[in-house]
A and B are shown apart, each in its own frame.
Chain A
Amino acid sequence: MLTATQELWDYRALVLNLTNREIKSQFKMTFLGNLWALINPTLTLAVYSLVFGYFLSFHRNTPEAWASGLQSFPLYLFCALMMWWLFNRVAIGATGAFTSMGSLLRKVYFPPSAPIVAHGLAQVRQTMLEGLVCMLVLCLVGNTPWTFILWPLLIPLMLAFGMGMGMLLALANAYYKDVGYLTTILNMLLFYVTPIIYSVDAVGETEFMGIPVKSLMQLNPLTQFVEASRELLYLGVVPGLWRMVALVGISATSLVVGWALFVKYSKDVSEVV
């Protein structure tokens, strides 16, 4: 595992090259180009806000923000969506990593993890941009807690968590294409069980097989990310110690376990891609 890590480091020029390439090619062939980096999240946010916030009146249950009196469902939602999107692009996006880079792997040697790591790194820019826009809007409506400055720390943590998952998904998908299809469905489930379009409190005292759903939700790593993001940007509070330990713990575990398994099972991947 250490040799593989060292090797990946030796190939850092390749990782950076692939990262740059991905960033550059993201909105290629589009008329609006890089504007899509803003349009995309805005429109998605608009759709969710319209359906859930307005039609289903979720905005009534939206907690109050740090600035007294501010109660905005779209902003509350956006703080969570940024984390969800980052996870989605890093982890789920890695599933197809070998389908696009696979033919190259059969012709020339490079660490098979390189395209996955590069793909993950390439997603940082988009999230940084979204974060900046979010903070800007929050400032405009008078919500300016100092906890803003801690928010960027969530990005490397999510990157570690997502990459660990992504490596496993990419590898599994190389051997079984079933994984790709299954992931699409599970992804949808994950979106709705994570408190993104609703708050944890909204589930009330509902129980699932005798256990309160509220407690079950805390076991979902994404809940921790989403809640932390909301606390830092919207609510203006520092996440509790338990949450911080949980975030660091799950990120490190995911990365280490994902990487170890990837190193172990990726040795013959050039034969199946």
Chain B
Amino acid sequence: MAETDIAIKVEDVTKRFRLNQNRAAYLKEAIIHKTDTSQWREFWALKGVSLDIHEGSMHGIIGHNGSGKSTLLRLMANIHRPTTGRIVANGRISALLELGTGFHPQLTGRENIYLNASILGISPREIGRRVDDIIDFAGIGEFIDSPVRIYSSGMKVRLGFSVAVHVDPEILLLDEVIAVGDEHFKRRCFDHVYSLRKKGVTIVLVTHSLGQVQSMCDRATWLESGELKMDGDAIEVARAYLQQVNSAESGDQEHGEADLEMQGRGERRGTGEVTIEAVTFVNAHNRPTPFVNSGRPLVARIRYKAAEPIKNPTFGLRIFTDAGTLVSAPNSRRARFEAGTLDGEGEILYRMPRIHLTPGTYHVTAGVFDENNLHVYDERQREFELRVQPGEAPDTEGFVDMGGEWAKARKKLGDDQRDD
């Protein structure tokens, strides 16, 4: 690949941080110009990483906590400099590194927009034309003229994201930031990131969400303890990473079924006449499983508890991707399934002959409603997790494996035309 097609070139970069630095050591080092390593505890955040970020691509960086992902991003953003090696960036970089990136707490939101713009080298006149778009997108409203220190963390993220994407970056660095904020804003962020991609903006995304990597990125880098473990096609890297995580998890499988119920976090609403106690996924052998292989059968067991007799309640599941897109919403009423009158505890099953989802983590909402699907007895939003592992079928991008087969038609197109 030609040099010009590379947006960021990372060449054998190492980064050492000093911990518990003895203050006197700085002075000594400054005076004698020699590094005396006995004076501090050091931490190598990156140990010789080389990679290319291709121009116009969306590049995911994955890895466990402390693997050096964020450090790498900071080096790309020129905030810290590499201890050895070098990073060459080709284009204007805009970075959104953490909550409220680059905001001065005493300044108002509007002043911060101008401050950030000038940091990125954009003239006040230029930003003046975009300032309304930025405020609009962030949805800050009248707070825009209040100091940023009174903003909620959600507002800071929204404003930060809005500024970062509206300053016409050629390279956009995002650190996990899209993971916060409400659903509505998250969706708009993804839409905007998508439109930037179409414009040819290079995007580097540090994330824990393999779903995001698989569904959005072209390429990915997997870092582990500061070393490059794998770099290449996003789907393949995410798959390899997932396999490693899963094999580590399989080892833990004996540790009780409580884990398998995967009681997560999330919002819960409803009046509680019937409650969802748990959702368990079981495999073809009727055994609870923490993950399913794509293409295999799966049964969702919804355990309920009715405090009083309830006639024909409706059960529903909603399956979301990591990025928050609704993939499917099976509903017992629409399927004309009648549960009968429920009283006490029991289980409702939803049998899926084949899981058509592509590998990744999905979040499942389970709910129970009245006969007309209007009144909410209990709804546990995205509390359950469904992990899909690669199956035998070749991976596809997107969320759904169509399960089709490829074939060649017998008749040639030219023959058709001659018939006319």
List of B residues within 8 angstroms of A11 by Cβ: 118-119, 121
Q: Which residues of A contact B81 (CB under 8 A)?
A: 267-268
- A176 adjacent to B95 (CB under 8 Å): no
Q: Which residues of A contact B107 (CB under 8 A)?
A: 21
Interface string of A93-107 (1 = CB under 8 A from B): 000000001001111
Minimum C-beta distance from B172 to chain A (A): 13
A175 & B26 in contact (Cβ 8 Å cutoff):
yes
A17 touches B114 (CB 8 A): yes
When C-beta atoms are compared, the residue in chain B nearest to A28 turns out to be: B106
Cβ distance B147 to chain A, nearest Cβ, rounded Å: 10
For A17, A108, A176, the residue with the greatest tally of chain B CB atoms inside 10 Å of its CB is: A108
Q: Are B121 and A107 in contact (CB under 8 A)?
A: no
Task: Please judge, given known A-B contacts A175-B26, A176-B23, whether A270 and B102 are in contact too, CB under 8 Å.
Answer: no
Let me know if A104 and B102 touch, CB within 8 A. Answer: yes
Q: Which of A18, A107, A265 has the most CB of B within 10 A?
A: A107
| Chain A residues whose CB sits within 8 angstroms of the CB of B114 once the complex forms | 17
Instruction: Tell me the dominant secondary structure on chain A's binding face.
Output: helix
Within 8 Å of chain B (Cβ to Cβ): is A242?
no
A10 to B27 Cα, complex, angstroms? 32
Residues of B near A18 (CB, < 8 A) are 115
CB–CB B119/A108 < 8 A: yes
B30 at the interface (CB under 8 A from A): yes
Any B CB within 8 A of the CB of A25 = yes
Q: How far is the CB of A84 from chain B (nearest CB, A)?
A: 28
Binary flags per residue of B101-132, CB closer than 8 Å to A gives 1, else 0: 11110110001001110110111100000000
Asked if A271 meets B80 with Cβ closer than 8 Å, knowing A13-B124, A25-B106, the reply is: yes
Given contacts A13-B121, A271-B80, contact A108 B116 (CB under 8 A): yes
Q: Can you name the residue of chain A whose Cβ is closest to the Cβ of B101?
A: A107
Residues on the A chain within 8 Å of B98, using CB: 107
Alpha-carbon distance A109/B87, docked complex (angstroms): 14
Partner of A107, one of B18, B30, B79: B79
Q: Name the A residues within 8 Å of B119 (CB-CB).
A: 11, 14, 108-110
Residue-wise, chain B 1-39 has the 8 Å CB interface mask toward A (1 for contact) of 000000000000000011000010011001000000000
Contacts of B115 in A (CB 8 A): 14, 17-18, 21
Q: A109's contact among B23, B79, B118, B123, by CB below 8 Å, is which? A: B79
Beta-carbon contacts of B66-109 to A below 8 Å, as 1s and 0s? 00000000000111110000000000000101100111101100
Measured in the bound complex, the distance between the Cα atoms of B77 and A105 in whole Å is: 11
Q: Are B78 and A109 in contact (CB under 8 A)?
A: yes
Size bracket of the A interface: 20 to 34
Q: Note all chain B residues with C-beta closer than 8 A to A271.
A: 17-18, 80
A1-42 to B contact mask, C-beta < 8 Å, 1/0 = 000000000110110111001000100000000000000000
A259 CB to nearest chain B CB (Å) = 17
- In the assembled complex, the CB of B206 is this many whole angstroms from the nearest CB of chain A, namely 14
A21→B110 CA distance, assembly (Å): 12
| Complex contacts, A176 vs chain B, CB 8 Å | 23, 26-27
Q: Are A17 and B118 in contact (CB under 8 A)?
A: yes
In the bound complex, do residue B118 and residue A104 qualify as a contact, i.e. CB atoms below 8 Å apart?
no
A21, B118: Cα distance in complex, Å: 12
CA distance in complex: A101, B104 (Å): 8
Report the Cα distance A270→B23, complex, angstroms: 16
CB distance from B71 to the nearest CB of A (A): 11
Closest to B107 in A: A21
Q: Which residues of A contact B116 (CB under 8 A)?
A: 108
Question: Considering only CB atoms, which chain B residue lies closest to A10 in the complex?
Answer: B121
Find out whether the CB atom of B79 lies under 8 angstroms from the CB atom of A108: yes
Task: Give every chain A residue within 8 A of B102 (Cβ-Cβ).
Answer: 104, 107-108
- What separation, in Å, do the CA atoms of A106 and B95 have in the docked complex? 12
Q: How far is the CB of A75 from chain B (nearest CB, A)?
A: 37
Tell me which residues from 116 to 168 in chain A have a Cβ below 8 Å from any Cβ of chain B.
none
Least CB separation from B126: chain A residue: A13
**A18, B124: Cα distance in complex, Å:** 12
Tell me the chain B residues, 226-255 only, with Cβ under 8 Å from chain A: none
Q: With both chains docked as a complex, state the minimum distance between the C-beta of A119 and any C-beta of chain B, in angstroms.
A: 14
B97 touches A107 (CB 8 A): yes
Q: How far is the CA of A243 from the CA of B27 in the complex (A)?
A: 35
Assembled-state Cα–Cα distance A215/B287 (Å)? 95
8 A–B contact pairs at CB < 8 A? Answer: A13-B121, A16-B118, A17-B124, A21-B107, A25-B106, A104-B102, A108-B119, A268-B81
User: Which 3 pairs of residues, A with B, have the shortest CB-CB distance?
Assistant: A108-B102, A109-B78, A17-B118
List chain B positions with a Cβ less than 8 A from chain A.
17-18, 23, 26-27, 30, 77-81, 95, 97-98, 101-104, 106-107, 111, 114-116, 118-119, 121-124
